[in-house]
Amino acid sequence: MARRILLITTDQQRRDGLGFAGGGHARTPVIDALAARGIEYSQARNQCAVCMPARCTILTGQHPRMHGVTSNGIALPAAHPSLAHELKAAGFATALLGKAHFEPHAAKDFFENTAAAANDCGPHRGFDHMELAGHTGRAGRSLFHYPKWLAENHAEMVAGFHEYTAGGSPSARGGGDTGAPQVARNPIPIALYHTHWTARRTRDWLSGLADDADWFCWMSFPDPHHPWDVPDVARARFDWRELPPPPGYPGSVEACEAILREKPWHWLAWYRGEAQLNFEVPPAYVPAEQIREVNAVVHAKNELIDEAIGEVMADLAARGWAEETDVFFTTDHGELQGDFGMLFKGPYHVDALTRVPLIWRPAAAAGLAAGEVTAPVGHVDIAPTILAAAGLEVPAWMQGTPLPTTDGPAGRERVYTEWRDDFDGNEITMTTLVRDDWLITCYGASNRYDGDEGELYRLSEDPHQWRNLWDDPAHAVVKDDLLADLRDNLPAGRDEPLEKVAPV
């Protein structure tokens, strides 16, 4: 019997924006059905809260400290062992359609940035076929396959996209009704937008496979990541004026600053625009109206993703493959999206950024029951699970283990998330452990921290992580216990770091 595996990822998508996880705005019936008929990992965490490290962890089954991509701007060596290489060696047809980002976008001499101009669709990194998209239809820093296709076939639609850039340049340019950063009106039809382009290219690749082929397809949507320039016809589904502020928004500048003052230095400094901690630049102030407009666009993006997945699932059903395919769904990281009065992402290890949706809808032949697994798991476990589902041995160099299919298995007590970056002269090193309803973050010594700072939250009592218990004497014992656990069980890392060559 042929083995078929579809990995679906999004970019910068909050778990609580989806229907199955309590999202009350965007309609996501296709993703909800995958969760209802599959296994939903409700305490899944990424191993880094930014794109490149998270995606490299999904690809390799290794922690960032081992594969070496500890921040954006560090390229994963093309020959690095990976899930795709393992499946290709076992005879699988392999493809990645949409966003890759295993290589820096701001450095021109990498495959991801040169492939489209060279009419090259692979092979690369163990993938037979790659067609790439980013966050814009404009041909800016990187010319992927999607903007090239758009310029060649629908040039009149290119200018509707916001350019994805950084600094105090166009990235902070306001748009829409409220002047919100990176918001733009976009007249492009839904069928020509990169979400449906990614799904269509996935469908085209699948249609060329033999009925008995073993295949692995990674369908990787660039959305709902900013810029927030969804097609206008989809944007019209939500009136931002009718949306309440998100639950994680404290309600005023004063309330935001009161919460952020109880956290380490870089939280409030970033909120005030006094320090840049990664590529995205916070606006000096994001009022509730701008947050609500951004959220309205994100809801529309989430709906388009769900509809595009539905098109692919319909094709699988028509081919007779739907029940025979293992389907995985996750995102690389979340989005602050108004929590703490902030937007974007960075060195902030809170649920908004690190708790990710993770669904495995097993093939029917696996005989696995649907349900929720509350054990802490991570992106590092996805590649081993896919190999096991394919009937292949998990190599020793992978640090993750196949995902549990029921609650309570031994060895599933904790999950780690890390941040290691020096951006604009601000060095931040953080290691986070989630265990037993606690989230603890230990800061390393740097040019900004002494190494004794940190954060501690009781997740069930403080779902938005507003109250930092790190210095609370009443929690000193549990803090010491968690810190000892964090240090005693850190995963192994590589001997020599990889070079950072670009900001993103």
For the beta carbon of residue 124, count every other beta carbon within 10 angstroms: 20
**What average pLDDT score do residues 2-15 get?**
97
The closest of 475, 474, 473, 405 to 439, measured between CA atoms, is 475
**What average pLDDT score do residues 306-315 get?**
98
Locus of tokens 């970019």: 11
Amino acid making up residue 211:
D
**What average pLDDT score do residues 136-150 get?**
86
Rounded Cα–Cα distance for residues 363 and 386 (Å): 12
Confidence band, pLDDT 50/70/90 cuts, at residue 141: low
pLDDT attached to residue 107 = 74
Encode pLDDT of 169-201 as tens digits.
Answer: 445 578 999 999 999 999 999 999 999 999 999
Encode pLDDT of 71-108 as tens digits.
Answer: 999 999 999 999 999 999 999 999 999 999 999 987 77
SS3 content of the chain, % helix, strand, coil (to 5): 35, 20, 50
pLDDT attached to residue 172 = 57
**What average pLDDT score do residues 123-144 get?**
90
**167: pLDDT strictly greater than 50:** no
For the beta carbon of residue 231, count every other beta carbon within 10 angstroms: 23
Encode pLDDT of 350-395 as tens digits.
Answer: 999 999 999 999 999 999 999 999 999 999 999 999 999 999 999 9
- Secondary structure string (H, E, C) spanning 201-246: HHHHHHHCCCCCCCEEEEEEEEEECCCECCEHHHHCCCCHHHCCCC
Indicate the pTM of the whole model.
Answer: 0.98
**476: pLDDT strictly greater than 70:** yes
pLDDT attached to residue 168 = 46
Domains in the chain with CATH codes:
4-389 (3.40.720.10)
pLDDT attached to residue 408 = 78
Percentage of the chain exceeding pLDDT 90: 92
What are the backbone angles phi and psi of residue 383, rounded to the nearest 5°?
-60, -45
Rounded Cα–Cα distance for residues 324 and 319 (Å): 10
Encode pLDDT of 251-270 as tens digits.
Answer: 999 999 999 999 999 999 99
**339: pLDDT strictly greater than 90:** yes
Amino acid making up residue 137:
G
Tokens of 256: 């935001």
**413: pLDDT strictly greater than 50:** yes
Confidence band, pLDDT 50/70/90 cuts, at residue 411: confident
Rounded Cα–Cα distance for residues 123 and 126 (Å): 7
pLDDT attached to residue 165 = 62
